[in-house]
Structure 1
Amino acid sequence: MTPRATTLADVDRGALREEAERALRALVGREDAVLREDQWVAVEALVADRRRALVVQRTGWGKSAVYFVATALLRAGAGGGEPSGPTVIVSPLLALMRNQVAAAARAGIRAETINSANVTEWDAVHERVAAGEVDVLLVSPERLNNPSFRDTVLPRLAADAGLVVIDEAHCISDWGHDFRPDYRRIRTLLADLPAGIPVLATTATANARVTGDVAEQLAVRGAPVDGTDGATASALEDVLVLRGPLDRESLHLTVARLPDTSAQLAWLAHNLPRIDGSGIVYCLTVAAAQQVTEHLRASGLDVRAYTGQTDPTEREAAEADLLANRVKALVATSALGMGFDKGDLAFVVHLGAPASPIAYYQQVGRAGRATDHAEVVLLPGREDRAIWDYFASMAFPPAQEVRATLAALEAHGTLSTAALETHVSLRRNRLELMLKVLDVDGAVRRVTGGWQSTGEPWEYDAERYERVAAARAAEQESMVEYVRGETCRMAFLRRALDDPELTGPDGAAWRCGRCDVCGGASAGVAPDEAEVEAARERLAVPGVEVEPRKMWPSGMAALGVELSGRIAPGVQASSGRAVARLDGIGWGGLLRDLFAAPGGGGADLGPDGDPGPRDEGLPVPLRRPVVEVLDAWHPEPAPAGVVLVESATRPTLVRHLAEGVARHLGVPVVGVVRPVDGVPPGRHDVNSAQRLAGVARRLELDLSPAAAAGLPGRAVLLVDDRTDSGWTLTVAARLLREAGAEAVHPFVLAVG
């Protein structure tokens, strides 16, 4: 390969800036658009000088404009250079990817993505990249650890790329608030890049420590012959770092300290309708997000849940609904924390405080990007510190668990994550996080079929882990100080992020004039005792909502299933009920015991030779909870019959449950949704589209002639033992609605 020029020394930089601003105007659709000075400095460094740059600027500043403008110039061979290859953007979230693709299309830039939501399209995307038909390829950091992508696709992209972009670059640093092990693989990608390929890293949330760490990683080059680290002092000096002020003049920051969860929910139900526009309600856990969603919906507010457990297609639909103001709010975890771009977002409310001011600033930065006023309210909870401690305990597993994992891989060769669980006491999500860290450190390697040891020496870096833990503990205390509110809230957040404009004596006196401490805002209207009591009563209602799916996954036609787009209202399930979530307390514990019994898990175990489930009737301790949930639930229209989903692994349990429910309601069992003869159970360890394809091919409706004749215009209760992906209930409801049912109300023992 011919070495690339590392600079365009003779380029007319004035003419280049004119080209850059033409590209910007195409991107934003405004003829009066001009580049900010720091935007131009970054574009110039990337296009004319082929440098590596780190841009740390507030949300809404226009970081994406830098890389899209640079892409347009590089692809066109601006300044007299040769046209470059496509830009590769490592982007952490699907919401961010979708916004970026839409923005690129407005400027005539052809963008494609490779992520978990479009698995069926990957081959076609790779072909378009190879044919030169793609200007921008967005990949999730998890793709960097996929064996096929890492070993086959990535080297080709690295060799041919015109620009490499690392979005939300604070994820690289384990000092950052949202460290992700998969992001550390970018260091290897940067070391393998040919000379002359510019690199841009962007983030809105990096303090001085994180900025220095990211800049050091950007400086990594291919290791010299003597094997020393490629991040030399001269290379570090060549990294351009642009940091800007972090004030957001539209944000009005307030804190409302309320006595308990009931008061917080009452505050939300009382105040959200009084704010013009739509927004986001953030929660610290998935369970809290689901519970808040149920409460606000019951209070008459149109909201939707958005968490890491929400299917990608449902997430996309939820984002579209919020962008179009079809919902009042998304009730979200940090899964909606980065990249979501809605300029007129009117409010961000937190039910529970994030673990650091930096993470808090990153999330509240979603609001008020293109408006003069946005409400930002924090409702801290008494359990916040316990939740922080729990997530902190997930960061670095104990040394003995790490050594047990390495010993198992050395003794047995390649092992899947499930097989490794038998050698360690860690739960699945913590084990997977640990394996990613070990992969980044070079001790293990992900391969087809699981994980294997590399045989490389590895030391448990307890000293570094302790330093990071201490830094995060200090951030927690800083968040407690923010809640106390002894100083201007925006000034507090800016100082937490080492805002360069707040250094020195002038910065020490800065005040925003807009927060509740400065006297420029108040935290809504306190709910009265009747509202709080109503919220408390609603919390006491047994059972949890089973929200119906509203979107089919994309790419189903490639799997031979003709389902696409929104699920038509005429074939949708209604809102259903479950006794409890498997990860919940109380009844959730009884259900975990039921499904964790030998062979009693949710998977179809027989074909693999494992023991079949212990199939018995509904356990006595769960019968009262089932009755309580049924009695507290009043679905409309009332069901005239019960249909059960026949189970291949627990037929006795499901039939006993369905018959008991029918007796309690005083209605008959009128039919069964059962597997088609000869069609094997689908796998559970696959993506959503493949899960749906397996379910759609396997289920059929069996109604008695009398029931079939009486079904049109009637509602039915659809009974199953548990739901996780939701596709069995969705397909079964579609079969029943197509057979004439007016409504289908799902009822299950467990969610999750």
Structure 2
Amino acid sequence: MEHTSNADLRAEADTVLARLVGDPTGTARLREDQWRAIEALVAERRRALVVQRTGWGKSAVYFVATSLLRARGSGPTVIVSPLLALMRNQVDAAARAGIHARTINSSNTEEWDAVQAEITAGEVDVLLVSPERLNNPDFRDQVLPELAAATGLLVVDEAHCISDWGHDFRPDYRRLRTMLTDLPQGVPVLATTATANARVTADVAEQLGTGGTSDALVLRGPLDRDSLSLGVLQLPDAAHRMAWLADHLDELPGSGIIYTLTVAAAEEVTAFLRHRGHTVSSYTGKTENADRQQAEDDLLGNKVKALVATSALGMGFDKPDLGFVVHLGSPSSPIAYYQQVGRAGRGVEHAEVLLLPGKEDEAIWEYFASLAFPSEELVRRTLDVLTRADRPVSLPALEPLVELRRSRLETMLKVLDVDGAVRRVKGGWVATGQPWTYEAERYDWVARQRRTEQQAMREYAATSGCRMEFLQRQLDDEGAKPCGRCDNCAGARFAVDTSTVALDAARVDLARAGVEVEPRRMWPTGLPAIGIDLKGRIPAGEQATSGRALGRLSDIGWGNRLRPMLASQAPDGPVPDEVANAVVGVLADWAKGPGGWASGAADAPARPVGVVTVASRTRPALIASLGARIAEIGRLPLLGSVDYAVDSPPVPRSNSAQRLKALDGALTVPPALAAALAEAGGPVLLVDDFTETGWTLAVVARMLRRAGAEEVLPLVLGIQG
């Protein structure tokens, strides 16, 4: 029952809500669960965790609470938010309620000083910051302490990111523990998420108690979304899935999102659907900020039927009338899937949610799983390097000394920073000397949990039971029950048929071969520190030219055919005829295309005078046969192979500097090949199985050019990326 003393506060809260939602009649009312959260924050000054379905109205809670707290003399609300899309939406929403909101993130650095001045002057009601800001040394050491002292309400949006048990753990969020500890007594905290199972909920609630405060209030509601109709379409291959989209996209209500698992797939699907007459745009992690904002605006304004997106368009995008979400490929976690489909149907009575799983999904899951927290040996090695250094070590300088790619290295350092073992300062990273324990059991548990989630997604696609109930149970929703709307409860609403025209077009599109391979032009930083005397720009006379690959290993066209052939455990054998013929087609297009040797362009290279292969420890038959087929069809001499030196160790799948260290002295140009190059006196085709970083091609091209090749034109089957 509502406390009588809070009746006036409730009426004031409803008035703010009416302004927020644009209700001129003033009749809008908070639901009881929303009011309970606001009452806890404003009247009781508690810490609260709200776990509620997408579209429940979590933003209304913190904006109404902000207005009430500011009216009572509290400092500004600080909202830690993961995505720029959310920030832009939230600033606009706040303005409707008379709340002045500002943001500090990577896209508005030129405004930071002005924002800080407005905060100091008391003109800012809400400050939205990205979690990455919390780990920036200047922000952490200079802005954050003052902000913590002045904050009237701290909001942690998408709070499952705090927990490494969650599906989208982000180390930057862990910095919030420090801010929570430093908050003055009585400052309320609100954490919100739509995607937390019981384990994540308990973990986040425990972290909210940092600093010795009383237990957090946990408000957890049912997660059923009565506007969503879930369905799964089992189609035989990528061509059928793309054709189905082309045939049925216009049948889906309103505008929506088509999710893919990789950037390459998003770009492929976007191009195909455009060719079939659909108005769509792509949205990935590689999309420039300005283009992202334009794509968001186009979807919000229903100027496109769909955005074809990776998970880069996830948390925070708010379009209440989003009519559908289609997944072309299955996410690896039912919790992540629930998060993404929750974008749909927030302000409409009915929205369609469809999953079109693919055979390539498992390989993509395996790749992302390989990016987990590094082994204890690598962590200890990193700590040792930092301990022995007499000054801060920058990420580029540290990378050559540790066998980790930069993105994994940076993530690991952020975790160690929060754990107190290292500290990010101006100029780089330093070791603190504090003892640190490698939580092997915890990391193993997280890895097992990921495998359990993958199995759950297989079961979701195959279940004959209610799909919404399945997802709710995965999120430990005690109110889970059959929804009566999904394809298993109410019958399938979409046939799996595809037109011959669309299917043929999809097959042609997916069979289209040829991807440009950009050459390396700069040596990575830090090579002299590991004994390799190379730095700066690779001399033009030692570079490879732009090359070609048959396809990307992450795409749904040639990638689906190349991945099994190039997998680490795949048997070796001669190149299949289908692949060899496609490579010949790529060569023909390359020769005639812009800058090709048969294009007639003034700056085009001369026609290749021979073929050189790169020796392979794992696929010698494949590479040898591919080189021989290209030489035979192109009527070119097979000049020889760049070989591995005797007893040279395998090249690790590590960062650029470590790869180059392993390659240094590992490859040789045999005398017979050197003589053949000198005698041929022209450009050569360099044939390898696949390229991931481009460094093997760069090193071999340098060797061949020093041995007399005028140009080196790389040709590989697959490119990772």
After TM superposition, the score normalised by the length of structure 2 is: 0.74
Equivalence for 1:398: 375
Match of 1:183 in 2: 173
Instruction: Choose from 468, 477, 493 the match for 1:490.
Output: 468
Q: CA deviation at 1:618?
A: 6.0
| Map 1:279-294 → 2, pairs under 5 A | 279-294=256-271
Could you list the per-position Cα deviations for residues 538-560 of structure 1 after superposition, in whole angstroms to 9, with x for gaps in the alignment? 122245xxxxxxxxxxxxxxxxx
- The match for 1:73 among 55, 68, 72 is 68
Task: Kindly report which structure 2 residues correspond to 1:626-665, keeping only aligned pairs within 5 A, or say none.
Answer: 628-629=588-589, 659-660=603-604
**Residue aligned with 2:408, SS:** helix
CA contact (8 A) 1:513 1:520 kept: no
Q: 1:46 to 1:596 in 2, by over 3 A?
A: same
Distance 1:658 1:210 in 2: 62
Q: Which residue of 2 aligns with 1:98?
A: 88
656 and 183 in structure 1: CA distance in 2 versus 1, 3 angstrom threshold: farther
Shift of 1:630: 6.3
CA positional deviation for 1:271: 1.2
Task: Choose the corresponding residue for 1:268, options 238, 241, 245.
Answer: 245
1:443 aligned residue: 421
Alignment deviations for residues 31-83 of structure 1 (CA, whole Å, 9 cap, x no partner): 32100101100101100110000001100010000000000000111xxxxx1
In structure 2, the CA distance between the partners of 1:12 and 1:600, relative to structure 1 (3 Å rule), is closer
**Residue of structure 2 in register with 1:556 after alignment:** none
Contact 1:541 1:632 in 2 (8 A): no
**What is aligned with 2:203?**
213
1:453 and 2:431 aligned:
yes
Alpha-carbon shift at residue 10 of structure 1 (Å):
11
Q: Which residue of 1 aligns with 2:286?
A: 309
Which residue of 330, 338, 356 corresponds with 2:307? 330
1:515 counterpart = 2:486: yes
CA drift of 1:431 comes to 1.4
Partner of 1:537: 508
- CA distances 1:486-509 after superposition (whole Å, capped 9, x unpaired): 21001111111111323xxxxxxx
Aligned to 2:339, the other structure's residue is in SS state helix
Instruction: Tell me, yes or no, if the aligned pair for 1:348 and 1:364 is still in contact at 8 Å.
Output: yes
Aligned match of 2:568: none
Residues 606-628 of structure 1 deviation map (CA, whole Å, 9 limit, x = unaligned) = xx993431314864965988865
Cα deviation for residue 533 of structure 1 reads 2.4
Preserved CA contact (<8 Å) 1:396 1:465: yes
SS of residue paired to 1:595 = coil
Q: Which amino acid aligns with 2:182?
A: D
Pair 44,595 (structure 1): closer, same or farther in 2 beyond 3 Å: same
Contact 2:253 2:352 in 1 (8 A): no
Q: Which of 6, 9, 19 is residue 16 of structure 1 equivalent to?
A: 9
Aligned to 1:468: 446
Q: For residues 145 and 253 of structure 1, do their structure 2 counterparts lie closer, same or farther at Cα, with a shift above 3 Å needed?
A: same
Q: Once the two structures are superposed, what CA deviation does each residue of 1:322-358 show, in whole Å capped at 9, x if it has no partner? A: 0001111111111111111111111100011111111
Show the 5 A alignment for 1:57-456: 57-77=52-72, 83-221=73-211, 230=212, 235-236=214-215, 239-412=216-389, 413-456=391-434
Counterparts in 2 of 1:394 and 1:656: CA distance versus 1, 3 Å: farther
Q: State the distance in 2 between where 1:84 and 1:619 align.
A: 62
Paired positions, count: 566
Distance 2:588 2:179 in 1: 56
- For 1:611 and 1:86, the matched residues in 2 are separated by 47
- 2 CA distance for matches of 1:468 and 1:24? 40
State the identity %.
62
State whether structure 2 residue 538 is matched by structure 1 residue 613. Answer: yes
Counterparts of 2:319 and 2:503, CA distance in 1: 32
For 2:345, what is the secondary structure of its paired residue?
coil
Cα offset, 1:132, TM superposition: 0.7
In structure 2, C-alpha distance between the alignment counterparts of 1:445 and 1:242, rounded to whole Å:
35
| In structure 1, distance between residues paired with 2:473 and 2:505 | 41
Residue 187 of structure 1 aligns to a residue whose secondary structure is helix
8 Å contact 1:252–1:521 — kept in the other structure?
Answer: no
Cα pair distance change 1:632/1:453, threshold 3 Å: same
Cα distance, 1:409–1:297 mapped onto 2, change above 3 Å:
same
SS of the aligned residue for 1:123 comes to helix
Distance 1:268 1:662, change over 3 A: farther
Question: 2:614: which partner in 1?
Answer: none
Distance 2:382 2:127 in 1: 35
CA contact (8 A) 2:328 2:355 kept: yes
Cα distance in 1 for partners of 2:102, 2:525 equals 42
Whole-angstrom CA distance in 2 between matches of 1:309 and 1:384 = 21
Preserved CA contact (<8 Å) 1:600 1:613:
no
**Paired letter, 1:258:** L
- Alpha-carbon offset, residue 599 of structure 1: 7.6
CA contact (8 A) 1:271 1:525 kept: no
Residue aligned with 1:254, SS: strand
- Three-state SS of the structure 2 residue aligned to 1:88 is strand
Residues 369-395 of structure 1 deviation map (CA, whole Å, 9 limit, x = unaligned): 111111100011112122222212212
Distance of aligned partners of 1:381 and 1:127 in 2 relative to their CA distance in 1, 3 Å threshold: same
Q: Aligned with 2:346: secondary structure?
A: coil
Q: Are 1:27 and 2:27 counterparts?
A: no
1:127-163, Cα deviation, whole Å (9 max, x unpaired): 1111111000000000000000000001111001110
- Aligned counterpart for 1:39 among listed residues 28, 34, 38: 34
Q: Is the 8 A contact 2:523 2:534 kept in 1?
A: no
SS of residue in 2 equivalent to 1:442? coil
Structure 2: how far apart are the matches of 1:183 and 1:54?
A: 15
3-state secondary structure, aligned to 2:236: coil
| CA offset digits 1:672-693 (Å, max 9, x no partner) | xxxxxxxxxxxxxxxxxxxxxx
Give the AA of the match of 1:57. Q
Aligned in 2, Cα 1:459/1:253: closer, same or farther, shift over 3 Å?
A: same
Q: Quick check: 1:265–1:292 contact (8 Å CA) kept in 2?
A: yes
Counterpart of 1:446, as a letter, is R
Counterpart residue type for residue 460 of structure 1: Y
The answer on whether the counterparts of 1:255 and 1:523 sit within 8 Å (CA) in structure 2 is no
Distance 1:56 1:598, change over 3 A: closer
Alignment partners' CA distance in 2, 1:391 and 1:530: 35
DSSP-derived class of the 1:166 partner = strand
**TM-score, with structure 1 as normaliser:** 0.71
Please give the alpha-carbon distance, in whole angstroms, between the structure 1 residues aligned to 2:525 and 2:280: 35
Report if aligned partners of 1:51, 1:240 keep a CA contact under 8 Å in 2: yes
Q: Is the 8 A contact 2:393 2:429 kept in 1?
A: yes
Distance in structure 2 (CA, Å) of the matches to 1:600 and 1:432: 16
Structure 2 partner of 1:3: none
Q: Which runs of 5+ in 1 are unaligned?
A: 1-8, 78-82, 222-229, 503-509, 544-578, 581-587, 602-607, 634-641, 645-652, 664-749
Shift in alpha-carbon separation, 1:18–1:662, aligned structure 2, 3 A:
farther
